[in-house]
Amino acid sequence: MARRKIVAGNWKMNKTPSEAVALVEELKPLVKSEDVDVVFCVPAIDIIPVVEATKGTNIKVGAENMYYEESGAFTGEISPAMLTDAGVEYVVLGHSERREYFAETDETVNKKMLKAFEHGLTPIMCCGETLEQREQGVTMDFIRQQVKIGFLNVTAEQAKKAVIAYEPIWAIGTGKTASTAQAQEVCADIRKCIAEVYDEATAAAVRIQYGGSVNADTAADLFSQNDIDGGLVGGASLKADFGKIVNYK
């Protein structure tokens, strides 16, 4: 069965609540699609107004992070139940910016993955190598480790619903997109890794996005690769171009 494409915008730390609503209103008519799942992953404080503003559209709302505990004395954190209660369906986990600036590790990402599934949230688990790792030829060893630890104790049934975002760190926010061949090669190997950990059926079901300077000019080539099922888009998700990326065909 063909995998359904999924194009998600990661707004990162951009847009106040009122700006968020204005952006949703601008993008709403542009991101209509019958064939593509469209997700807006927004800052925590924007979630409630964005859920409200996207009602009745094809747009799903995602969070950019969450904590792995149910509730309690974890000042500043957001629980999975808070997200689901607010109408969130997706959650970005282990973005490289969180790994770099907020000390996220493969182990904490794994805890978050398990908790997200427990609450019926769909994780978009990010992985990707640095430029140094690519130059040293250890890209796949590194990514395989991120994927294997991230999916530890995740069942095959859960894994089938997961989204993995391959984001080479050197391509994020740099304007330097990975070539379609580079992106396809890594996404295919991630799928192979999932097949080794689980089975072919699970590997065939999991959706793998590419992320890193995706724009309206590069989306069509990238998203038409065999193992690339859409994109996780940063900068270009904050402008009208996002509509062109969703409707890349």
Ligand X SMILES: O=C[C@H](O)COP(=O)(O)O
Helix (H) or strand (E) holding 148: helix 139-150
Kindly state whether residue 208 participates in binding ligand X, applying the rule CB under 6 A.
no
**Residues in 87-106 that interact with ligand X by CB under 6 A:** 95
> How many of the other CB atoms lie within 10 Å of CB of 4?
11
Q: Out of 19, 70, 95, 135, which one is annotated catalytic?
A: 95
| Among the residue ranges 17-25, 102-110, 133-141, 207-215, the one whose residues contact ligand X (CB under 6 A) | 207-215
Asked if residue 173 belongs to a known ligand binding site, the reply is yes
Annotation says 167 is catalytic: yes
Task: List all residues 6 or more positions away from 171 whose beta carbon is below 8 Å from its beta carbon.
Answer: 177, 178, 211, 212, 213
187 binds ligand X (CB under 6 A): no
Q: Does 213 bind ligand X (CB under 6 A)?
A: yes
Is 10 annotated for ligand binding? yes
Nearer CB in complex with ligand X: 35/100: 100
- Between CA 206 and CA 164 the distance in angstroms is 8
Whether 95 is catalytic is yes
234 is in an annotated binding site: yes
Does residue 235 have a known ligand-binding role? yes
Q: Which of 122-144 are b and which e, b meaning 16 or more Cβ less than 10 Å from the residue's Cβ?
A: bbbbbbbbbeebbeeeebbebbb
Provide the token pair at 44. 């925590």
| Active-site amino acid positions | 95, 167
Residue ranges binding ligand X (CB under 6 A): 10, 95, 167, 172-173, 211-214, 232-236
